[in-house]
A and B are shown apart, each in its own frame.
Chain A
Amino acid sequence: MTQGILILLFMLVIMGLMVTRKIPTVLALFILVIGICVLGGVPAVGKDEAGNAVGFFQTVVQAGALKLGDAIMVAIFAGWLGMVMDKTRISETMIKKGAELGGDKTLVVTIILFIVASLLFSVVNGLGTVIMVGTIVIPILVSVGADKFTATAVMLFAYCVGNNVNLANINSISAVVGAGFDDVFLIQAICAVGAFVAGIVCLLIQLRRNGRKYAFSAPVSEVEEDIYEIKGITGGLALLTPFIPLACVIGFKFPLIISFLIALVWACLCTSWKAGWKRTMNMLTQTLFDGFSATAPSATLMIGIGMLLNAINQPSVSAALAPIIRSITPTGTIGFVLFFVILAPLCLYRGPLNLWGLGAGIAALMVSLNVLPLNVIMGGFCAVSVMQLLCCPTNTHNVWVTSYTGEEVTAVTKRLLPYIWPVVLIGCIATVILYM
């Protein structure tokens, strides 16, 4: 028991260092992993009677780094597609076409761009793509009369909605928790619908409160040369690119990476006639590297989470933590809903309910205890993850969006919490109905 308490205290210290931004999350996870192993009494090196390595150098650091390799690879290919959509101006065209539809109707433009951005984030994720989409969407929203907070909310809600049904993200959650892809997708899709409705409510309230915004403004730089054509029939077909991975995976049950590659080839075929072969090849190479770079933060996070999962699953560590986790794990339906809904803010600041922080370890422990079915634990964590995706001030996309619009990141968190909390409840109720 003492060992377990020490491990939890150490987790809290590391969480404190993350919250106060003394250590970046990606590095904090590595320290957390080593600390858990040391406090849990796992030897650094060693072999069991059968000659298998049991030291944490091999079983936690080495094996853990590779544990989520599949999810990391999927994320990289998704990142590549995102960069291709950026370079070929598919994303920009989708967003501008959306703005065209609304004209001078601020509410219509805002809702259309919310839908378009959500759609884009359902295919691509990571800070690079948030910047790519945000630098187009936010200025359009502000120029058609939305205020800064509304523009911020549109971007964050769109990321939340899109990421909930993002195939690479679902694949990662499935790998972290150990639940089936389709089971995760179902709960995530329900949460995405909930977050979408919450987003619309937020936008309606904001636009009603602020009215229309007019501005005396001017462009600060010249427009870049347009070598990729998004015109005519091929242009229209190019705009289907974000749907292709979804159709391949959901409709044809293709594996994820080949689905992203098909979308990538489709995007090039539909846009690159004017650019020519050589430029397109250069663009593909450059975007591949950029895709790697854009995915690097989440890939690094997944390396750390893989290690954390292996650390928590070390027999001596899980034995030390099991009594504590068992005492707090809810058993009944009401207990489950109350636990995840009331404690939902613990997903913020990489807290114990955040699957991309300490929560990965807590979820793994809960699963190993067999108190609740696997899919129920998965559903609970997926439900709270909508709050984390939208509100967590440590999310790099929250930090970027708020600094871009000139808002304060924690102030935005406070203002968005009331809209997203009911969605956590919806996610928990859906989990109870489907899996309990």
Chain B
Amino acid sequence: MMKEYPFPNKTDSMQELLLDYVFPKIAPDQIEVIFEDAWAVGEEQGKRFLKELREEKKPVMLDILRQKGLKVQMKDIDYVLGKRRYFCEYLSGRNLLKVYIKSVEQWCEKNGFSYDDGLNIILCHEYFHYLEWNKIGMVSRRHQVPMLKIGPVCLGRTGIPSLSEIAANAFAGVCYQYLMEGEI
């Protein structure tokens, strides 16, 4: 069962894949392979990102995102839609980032972070999506499944949405280690 306030580690990230709507279409022997591949992409990008920022001791992601031209909206709400709580959203077409402050505050409290540190980690996750959209391409498309499968007949191909989230978590995980523990 996925945690209510998940930390971007490997265990929680696997839950993203297990709960993906297209999960039933993934061949059982491919689950681990696909997951590890997405995780590796996120880690690799995380290390690359930190190397580029080597001169900065503790990057402030909000400033970095603003420097990249993203508009940031801070909304003072706990945003729960249906059975899901949203902490932060990135809209690629409008280059817009929405931060749901009260949701983030809860996430920080449950994971033992100060608000600023917690937000920084969450923004690392969103920064990876910015990279996906603007630089490295969509991780969700690295592995594809049939859109429709009736017996042996397969029609169309589509990506696995959770792979983007898994890679973004790996990216945030690498950044976390650097931000909190000083390791790359």
Contact = CB atoms under 8 A, between A and B. Distances in A.
Contacts of B164: 104, 214
B53 interface: no
Interface residues of A, number: 38
Nearest to A147: B91
A87 interface: no
Nearest to A207: B93
A220 B168 contact: no
Contacts of B132: 214
Contacts of B160: 103-104
B113 interface: no
Contact of A100 (B5, B24, B80, B126): B24
B179 to A, nearest CB: 16
B168 A214 contact: yes
A216 B82 contact: no
Contacts of B177: none
Interface in B9-25: 19, 21-22, 24-25
Contacts of B6: 218
Contact of A212 (B84, B125, B133): B133
B interface, size bucket = 35 or more
Interface centre among A102, A208, A217 (most CB of B within 10 A): A217
Contact of A214 (B25, B84, B129, B159): B129
A115 to B, nearest CB: 14
A258 interface: no
Contacts of A208: 93
Contacts of A316: none
Interface stretch (B34-42, B65-73, B139-147): B139-147
A214 B22 CA distance: 17
Contact of B5 (A214, A215, A218): A218
B81 A139 contact: yes
Contacts of A108: 147, 158
Interface string A329-351: 00000000000000000000000
Given A100-B25, A406-B79, A212 B147 contact: no
Interface in B154-184: 158-161, 164-165, 168
Nearest to B77: A406
B158 A216 contact: no
A211 B91 contact: yes
Contacts of B168: 214, 216
Given A105-B159, A144-B161, A139 B147 contact: no
Contacts of B86: 142, 215-217
Contacts of A215: 86-90
B74 interface: no
Nearest to A100: B21
A405 interface: yes
Given A210-B91, A211-B93, A216-B87, 18 more contacts: A99-B21, A100-B24, A101-B147, A102-B147, A103-B147, A104-B140, A104-B161, A108-B158, A138-B82, A139-B84, A142-B84, A214-B129, A216-B126, A218-B3, A218-B4, A221-B83, A404-B81, A405-B81
Interface of A: 96, 99-105, 108, 135-136, 138-140, 142-145, 147, 207-222, 404-406
23 contacts: A100-B24, A100-B25, A103-B140, A103-B147, A103-B160, A104-B141, A104-B160, A105-B158, A143-B84, A145-B161, A207-B93, A211-B93, A211-B94, A212-B91, A212-B133, A214-B89, A217-B84, A218-B5, A218-B6, A404-B81, A404-B82, A406-B77, A406-B81
Interface of B: 1-6, 19, 21-22, 24-25, 77, 79-94, 122, 125-126, 129, 132-133, 138, 140-141, 144-145, 147-148, 158-161, 164-165, 168
